[in-house]
Structure 1
Amino acid sequence: MSEASLYERLGGETKIKAFVADILKNHQNNPVISPRYSQAKKSDEELIRLVTALICQGTGGPQTYDGMSMLAAHTGMNVAEAEFVAVLDDILAALRKHGVGEREQAEMLAIAYGMKAEIVHQ
């Protein structure tokens, strides 16, 4: 019997969308990165849609992410290491708030950390 995908263990699209909304709220309230979100070119709803699709597709769900690559989205932003760490902290806080298991938290952080080279550019 095969193990459930991370997507299934996270609870599918509805639960992923719920914690993504909280990740965005955390970012908007985090003084380290909130200025970036006050200048966002996309609405909150569009950011939530895109990040939800990215996570769903990246964790084994049937959804298709149709946004920019992480490299393209972050080129020219000069994202600092401290900002990246703040993002990881915000993700972890949202996952914990939604009762995501420790194993799944670790997997999500590993996925996010795996994108670091595409995001952090100083």
Structure 2
Amino acid sequence: MTFFKPWIAAAVFVLAGAAHAQTAPLYQSLGEKPGIAALASDFVDRLKANPRIGKMFDNIKPAYLKEQFTDQFCELSGGPCKYDGETMKNSHAQLAIDKAQFNLVVEILQGTMDARGIPFTAQNQLLAKLAPMHREIITVE
């Protein structure tokens, strides 16, 4: 004899919801795809406007750069996006980027996240996922 046990159904729904919520808390903290796209757009605008680093982005179409950052941040944060752009090593190989320039880009990203009201914990999580890329981006000692 089979009995419907509502508490089992409720537990399954709660666990399924909790599992989904745990899969991408960073993605959610960044505002999912619309929030990440807004972050990427603001970030690119700030990069291009910065007098110390902006010229490095003169030959890159802003819309393309915004799309690439959106996909990359989205994928790194656990979202459903797929970054299929160039590798960091290939895209930065000829740019002669030093540590100071890399750190400036990080500062601009932090300032952008602050301005967008992204929680400090989420900022740190995203930066931690981006940090290992410094080995492929910094090409000048």
State the TM-score, normalizing by the size of structure 2. 0.80
- CA distance in structure 2 between the aligned counterparts of 1:109 and 1:60, rounded to whole angstroms: 14
For the 8 Å contact 1:88–1:112, the answer to whether it is kept is no
Q: Which amino acid aligns with 1:6?
A: L
Q: Give the counterpart of 1:20 among 10, 23, 40.
A: 40
From the CA coordinates, give the structure whose radius of gyration is larger.
2
* Structure 2 residue runs without a partner (length 5+): 1-17
* Superposition deviation, residue 52 in structure 1: 0.2
Q: Say how many residue pairs are matched.
A: 120
For the 8 Å contact 2:76–2:126, the answer to whether it is kept is no
User: Does 1:32 find its partner at 2:32?
Assistant: no
* Superposition deviation, residue 8 in structure 1: 1.5
* Superposition deviation, residue 112 in structure 1: 2.2
Aligned alpha-carbon RMSD (Å): 1.2
For the 8 Å contact 1:75–1:121, the answer to whether it is kept is yes
Per mean C-alpha deviation after superposition, the further-off stretch among 50-59 and 31-40 is: 31-40
Q: Give the counterpart of 1:10 among 30, 34, 44.
A: 30
User: Does 1:69 find its partner at 2:87?
Assistant: yes
State the TM-score, normalizing by the size of structure 1. 0.92
Q: Which amino acid aligns with 1:117?
A: R
- Aligned equivalent of 2:123: 105
Task: State the 4+ residue runs in structure 1 displaced beyond 3 angstroms.
Answer: none
Q: State the identity as a percent.
A: 27
Q: Give the counterpart of 2:135 among 107, 117, 122.
A: 117
* Superposition deviation, residue 66 in structure 1: 1.5
Q: Secondary structure at the match of 1:115?
A: helix
- CA distance in structure 1 between the aligned counterparts of 2:55 and 2:98, rounded to whole angstroms: 13
Q: Secondary structure at the match of 1:20?
A: helix
Q: Which has the higher contact order (CA 8 A, sep 6+)?
A: 1
